[in-house]
Structure 1
């Protein structure tokens, strides 16, 4: 009907003219009515054929759109990715990584939500989100997790005399006002235990839910802090120069373990798999960058961290 003749139709689909005539006859037998009137060797479309053509073109249009959608999905350009992230990584680290990941993927929809680590654990276990980035939970069958043990860093005012040291200990901080997370948090427990183990006086001035506001207090000279790597790294990315802060190793080591969480009983989308791969590389990159920075004069590594 588009080409106007059997011979033109045969050339268009790469078939012989008798083959196309047979295909039309078979179709008419299947649907139970004639699509063409045959007079003097010519085919004239029936009104039913006109209606049938409209239906077929609508179906073929949907098939073509579906093919394009599948192509975008296979190239990670289309789909939806739902991510739950704990506060330390939600402001800079994950958004920055997502920005890089989404380049050239304009039709990939992302849902990013910030929640506490215990809430993220339940959201992943119940398959509400595709992946979570949180503090490490206890293992459970409904969650697959990749764990990363990250060393905490001592944060000092930039002009603090202790910046002359490469490693800061509880003895160095005896009686100094400290900012720590809430009492039940593992980093707070480890930090206080390090002071007790050396018989050093621990002075808690600020109790926080996240380390981020503590950076402002340290910069103002109100306290010092033993802080997780993700918060430190995010701060450097956001303000690589003139931060008013210095970062040194703390001994004995205080660890802050983070994990990439995915539902244990669900198949991950291709977009999810690709982003998880990038996230794993980024977490390893944080460790490498901060470790290198702690072993080098800080000013020399600013550009690398940027």
Structure 2
């Protein structure tokens, strides 16, 4: 014998809310409708579920046993209905985003916090990793959105490109801090902390020094812009730092100057070409992409301050 779920739901609401009136309000139906559902349930089950005592419905022992059995089911359906509502209003689901380390220390956590503020049921998968691994993750479907450095070496990725001007960080007590703009000639022989010799910023910086006939002196190699900045704070030398790392730092112990010629960091937002973005993913990119674009530079605006 099958029993329509609505009858169980009415019965559950009466016990949970205490009165037919409160149960009707909870389910959004009339009092006669909920009384009718209860009568149908008693006829179907051939059980007396309530006694009326002093104008109130008192559950019978049979009703107590039945309530315990259906409580999990009814609550489960309520959660399903809420999840459907949240998904329809982009307030639930999962945000899956992986970024390079530069964005992970301040920019991306701030964006995620703002995005999730009115989405209490949103779950978040957020990782920072090296760019090649991020591309592999998005291709494999482990993450929906990837933000990484160029080049893109994986097939099947949709790409949005951005270019960000790096700035030169110097120890606060450096004599070179008196200059508003630094050049390879001014920094001839000055110790540098670089992001590995093959990194695009290091390679472009080395080429800039070579073009002006200045000596490019490497004091230290590291794998993160944040590491390079911390070494600058300790007085080990200068470093070109991306705007995201500078924004998330307390700006103490060093000074920042523009470097000419401009050295750019190329960033790309990648998603899988063969999988549609979720509504949550689209909403998140609608928030983040314009803010990244506002910090980026183009050929007509290289002199704009990215900070």
For Structure 1 versus Structure 2, the TM-score category normalised by the shorter chain is 0.7 to 0.9
CA distance in 2, matches of 1:295, 1:124: 32
Residue aligning to 1:146: 160
Question: Residues of 1 paired with 2:182 and 2:213: CA distance?
Answer: 16
The answer to whether residue 213 in structure 2 is matched with residue 199 in structure 1 is yes
5 Å-filtered alignment, 1:284-303, equals: 284-287=293-296
Match of 1:181 in 2: 195
In the TM superposition, residue 173 of structure 1 has moved relative to its aligned partner by 0.3
Aligned counterpart, 1:209: 223
Seen in structure 2, the aligned counterparts of structure 1 residues 140 and 116 have a Cα distance that, compared at 3 Å, is closer
Aligned to 2:25: none
- Asked whether the 8 Å contact 1:89–1:234 carries over to 2, the reply is no
Distance 2:31 2:174 in 1: 84
Q: Give TM-score, length-normalised by structure 1.
A: 0.72
Residue 132 of structure 1 aligns to a residue whose secondary structure is strand
Structure 2: how far apart are the matches of 1:224 and 1:269? 43
**Aligned match of 1:134:** 148
Equivalenced residue count is: 259
SS at match of 1:184: coil
Cα deviation for residue 179 of structure 1 reads 0.7
1:109 alignment counterpart? 123
Note if contact 2:156-2:274 (Cα within 8 Å) is conserved in structure 1. yes
Change (3 A) 1:154 1:58: closer
| Residue 164 (structure 1) aligned with residue 173 (structure 2) | no
In the alignment, the residues of structure 2 paired with residue 295 and residue 150 of structure 1 have an alpha-carbon distance, to the nearest angstrom, of 11
1:270 paired residue number:
279
Residue 55 of structure 2 is matched in structure 1 by none
Decide which of 73, 91, 99 is 2:113's aligned counterpart: 99
- State the Cα distance separating 1:200 from its structure 2 match: 0.5
Q: Report the CA distance shift for 1:199/1:76 in structure 2 as closer, same or farther (over 3 A).
A: same
Deviation at 1:122, TM superposition (A): 0.9
- Residue aligning to 1:258: 267
Alignment-derived partner of residue 44 in structure 1: none
Q: Secondary structure at the match of 2:248?
A: helix
Distance 1:61 1:116 in 2: 43
How much has 1:272 moved relative to structure 2? 1.3
Q: Which deviations, in whole Å up to 9, do the C-alpha atoms of 1:29-75 show, x marking residues without a partner?
A: xxxxx888xxxxxxxxxxxxxxx999999877655432211111222
Quote the residue 1:69 is aligned against: 83
- 1:161, CA displacement in angstroms? 2.9
CA contact (8 A) 1:219 1:244 kept: yes
Cα offset, 1:77, TM superposition:
2.2
- Which runs of 5 or more residues in structure 2 are unaligned? 1-6, 15-28, 47-65
- In the TM superposition, what is the alpha-carbon distance from 1:283 to its structure 2 partner? 1.5
Cα distance, 1:10–1:203 mapped onto 2, change above 3 Å: closer
Cα contact 2:106–2:244 (8 A) shared by 1 = no
- TM-score, with structure 2 as normaliser: 0.72
When residues 74 and 137 of structure 1 are mapped into structure 2, their CA distance, relative to the original with a 3 A threshold, is: farther
> Does the CA contact (< 8 Å) of 2:156 and 2:273 recur in 1?
yes
In the TM superposition, residue 168 of structure 1 has moved relative to its aligned partner by 0.8
